Chain A
Amino acid sequence: MKTVQWLIGVILVVFVAPLFAEPGYIIRSSDLMDEPYRDATPLAELKEGATVEILKRKGGWLQIESAGKRGWVRMSKIRKGKAATQPTAGKEASGVLGLASGRAGTGNVVSATGVRGLNEEQLKEAKFNASEVKKLESFAVSEQKATRFAQAAKLVARELEFIPAAAE
């Protein structure tokens, strides 16, 4: 019986886990680390544009597989999706900035499928809807109820300071 369970385990890990893997690629060259920590051991260098399979996330780190090597990379170094379908693949500078600055549409594009969008023009012309506001307000949750909701999922409040922006 134990052997069967063990076998099922192996089958799950070897054959099913890769099905959940997501493609991605490196947008800023980075070390592949053996563990999800800053002071872990680098295993290899991942170059911009290198394709990866994302296996899972732990904190700010993604476990990936690339060119037969498995390890951890900081999540901000990776873009999800297939590099080939991305016109900006492999060029981080033009990638991020190019996406940010241009081709975002004119704001009056109406979705082809006829579903409701929210563009500038619609917002500018929007009229106050009193009954919807009242409906929204009817769903308000008190602090006591919120606390009970948190306790139900064993969420415990922690005391933490706000963090500053990273130094330039």
Chain B
Amino acid sequence: MGYRILLAILLLLSTLTVHAFDLGGLVKEITKEQSPASETEQQQAKQPGLLDLLGGTPVEEEIAIGREICGRLLGAAPLVDDKRLQRYINQVGAWVAKQSGRSDLIWHFGVIESHDINAFAAPGGYILVTKGLYKKLHNEAELAGVLAHEVGHVIKQHHLKILKQGQLIDMGGGILKKRASGDDKGQAIGKMIGSGAEILARGLDKNAEYEADRIGVVLAARAGYDAYALPSVLQEIGHVSAGDSSVALLFKTHPHPEKRLIELDAAMDGYAEQFDNGKTIVGRFYKL
């Protein structure tokens, strides 16, 4: 009886090894075909991504995934039809994102047609703010702070990490055994993201939100803006009644704004000097 169990375990182990070996071979074979990855790309490729196996660099993978998620969100809520507004948010956003050091991405910002109060970040630099949140803002520094929080999610790859975790679980499921054509690549991304833009409704760990807040105030300050504009926005949305449907999703996916304000204020407390003298900029702020 004991021998049988041992035999079973040995058999199981050998299958696993063969499987792992196969996977490794596949990775090697594909990376040979590619031009050598840059240092940043190598740093980001901590885990083999689905597209690494199917062809494509980690940055390309990140952008392809984010573009798909962003496109789905736009399917639920299209862009506000106002070119000057969309150009303005891209000017502010690009300046803030420049401070993050991820110049390998082309950053995209947009205001979407929704009266909810919320903002979303998808991998690869796709960031959308609802009209409902935009209307709560009073100046450019507040917009910069909101966008900087979302830029924080992108550079920390918060959503990408969640998607990759899910994908690793899927690895044994056999989807990787097929060699890819173009269509499979799309399917692979689709499978990774799941249904619609549900990844954005799931929410992140609360510490990821606090981290994005701390990154947000620093990026805004690096860009020359008043760093306390983001805390100010949190204060503003902090007293919206929790029963209000416009904050239902925001409050479900984030710690309460007041809790975020308390955490952020405590973190900023010792750095008052570094956050001094930022600009607010009311004059050219594009009002809705």
Stretch in contact with the other chain, from A6-14, A41-49, A64-72, A154-162:
A154-162
CB–CB A126/B245 < 8 A: no
CB–CB B87/A119 < 8 A: no
**Chain A nearest CB, measured from B90 CB (Å):** 4
B116 to chain A: which residues have CB within 8 Å? 116-118
SS class of chain A's interface: helix, strand, loop or mixed?
A: loop
CB–CB B71/A111 < 8 A: no
B90 to chain A: which residues have CB within 8 Å? 139-141
Interface range on chain B (Cβ under 8 Å from partner): 35 or more
Most buried by B among A96, A124, A142, A152: A124
The residues in B between 236 and 286 inclusive whose CB is less than 8 angstroms from any CB of A are: 236, 238-239, 242-243, 245-249, 251-252, 255-256, 258-259, 261-269, 271-272, 274-276, 279, 281, 284
CB–CB B94/A143 < 8 A: yes
Most buried by A among B198, B245, B279: B245
B110 to chain A: which residues have CB within 8 Å? 136, 139
Taking a contact as CB atoms closer than 8 A, the residue among B130, B196, B272 that contacts A127 in the complex is B196
Of all chain A residues, the one with the shortest Cβ separation from B245 is: A109
**Chain A nearest CB, measured from B92 CB (Å):** 8
Taking a contact as CB atoms closer than 8 A, the residue among B113, B247, B275 that contacts A59 in the complex is B275
B103 to chain A: which residues have CB within 8 Å? 143
In whole angstroms, how far apart are the Cα atoms of A167 and B242 in the complex? Answer: 29
In whole angstroms, how far apart are the Cα atoms of A95 and B37 in the complex? Answer: 51
A126 to chain B: which residues have CB within 8 Å? 72-73, 75-76, 196-197
Known A-B contacts A104-B248, A128-B75, A162-B214; the reply to A149 vs B95 at CB < 8 A is yes
**Chain A nearest CB, measured from B49 CB (Å):** 20
Taking a contact as CB atoms closer than 8 A, the residue among B86, B224, B258, B264 that contacts A158 in the complex is B224
CB–CB A136/B70 < 8 A: yes
In whole angstroms, how far apart are the Cα atoms of A133 and B78 in the complex? Answer: 9
CB–CB A132/B242 < 8 A: no
CB–CB A79/B258 < 8 A: yes
**Chain B nearest CB, measured from A3 CB (Å):** 31
A146 to chain B: which residues have CB within 8 Å? 91, 94-95, 98
A97 to chain B: which residues have CB within 8 Å? 256
User: Is B223 close to A, CB under 8 A?
Assistant: yes
CB–CB B228/A80 < 8 A: no
**Chain B nearest CB, measured from A103 CB (Å):** 5
CB–CB B79/A154 < 8 A: no
A156 to chain B: which residues have CB within 8 Å? 224
Of all chain B residues, the one with the shortest Cβ separation from A54 is: B235
A104 to chain B: which residues have CB within 8 Å? 242-243, 247-248, 251-252
Some 13 contacts from A to B, beta carbons below 8 A apart, are A38-B272, A75-B232, A76-B264, A107-B249, A109-B245, A109-B248, A110-B245, A120-B201, A139-B87, A139-B90, A140-B94, A161-B218, A163-B267
Kindly list the 9 A-B residue pairs having the minimum CB-CB distance in the complex, ordered from nearest. A100-B256, A166-B266, A155-B224, A146-B94, A76-B265, A126-B76, A132-B74, A105-B248, A126-B196
Which residues of A are at the interface with B, using a C-beta cutoff of 8 A? 27, 37-38, 57, 59-60, 74-76, 78-81, 86, 95-97, 99-100, 102-107, 109-111, 113, 115-120, 122-130, 132-133, 135-137, 139-143, 145-147, 149-150, 152-166
